[in-house]
Amino acid sequence: MSKQVAVILSGCGVFDGSEIYETTLTLLRLDQLGIGYRCFAPDIDQHHVIDHRSGEVAEGEARNVLAESARLARGEISALTELEAGDFDAVILPGGFGAAKNLSNFAEASDEMEVLGELAAALAGFHEARKPIGLMCISPVLVPRLLGRGIAVTIGHDPGVSGAISAMGGLHRSCGVEDIVVDFENRVVTTPAYMLATRISEAATGIFKLVDRIDELMDL
């Protein structure tokens, strides 16, 4: 596998980590295209732990983002501090609330958000080298803070989230669940995924398009 993609995770589970279906569909499509990948996650405590049956915070429980992400990666994962852009041709960030709680504090701070320093450092190398960057679901909200102002992204058409993106200097583009938005100048590809999806097949269509476009951009 000549092409290699870094996949950055934020835990395991839609409400407090990486969205499991989005992550699995991303890895599946990369494998179907013959693209190698390696998963990374920050070695930090989760913001909190959510009981995914009730949706409530599990009081008194603590989990580590890297350890939880290892569940999704079947143990094949490295700490985010070990990610070197020079070792990969592109990077993809699945969604899930971990992007808004562990990789940033967007869930609490909205357009006053700060992003995790080690994530910003890792993404800077890809952006500076003009290597493709894919983000899905809620993770495109990170773009204005990670990559700069004026980059076109989508989270679908949620007015609150899209408004926050605009307030941070981003350019939000409305988009259907089965489509993507591409900022060719900055080589950023985004799709709504479970910001809009009601079925896994809907999410799969947009995610597969995102991975396919990342594949194409790696050749340019």
Q: Which of 12, 39, 137, 175 is catalytic?
A: 137
Sign of CA dihedral 71, 74, 75, 80: negative
Query: Alpha-carbon distance 200 to 151, whole Å?
Result: 28
Q: Helix or strand or coil: residue 82? A: helix
Residue count of the chain: 220
What is the dihedral sign for C-alpha 23, 5, 40, 190? negative
SS3 180: coil
Whole-angstrom distance, CA of residue 190 vs CA of residue 209: 10
For the CA atoms of 88, 36, 183, 181, the dihedral, rounded to the nearest 10 degrees, stands at -160
Active site residue 137: yes
Looking at the annotation, which residues are catalytic?
A: 137
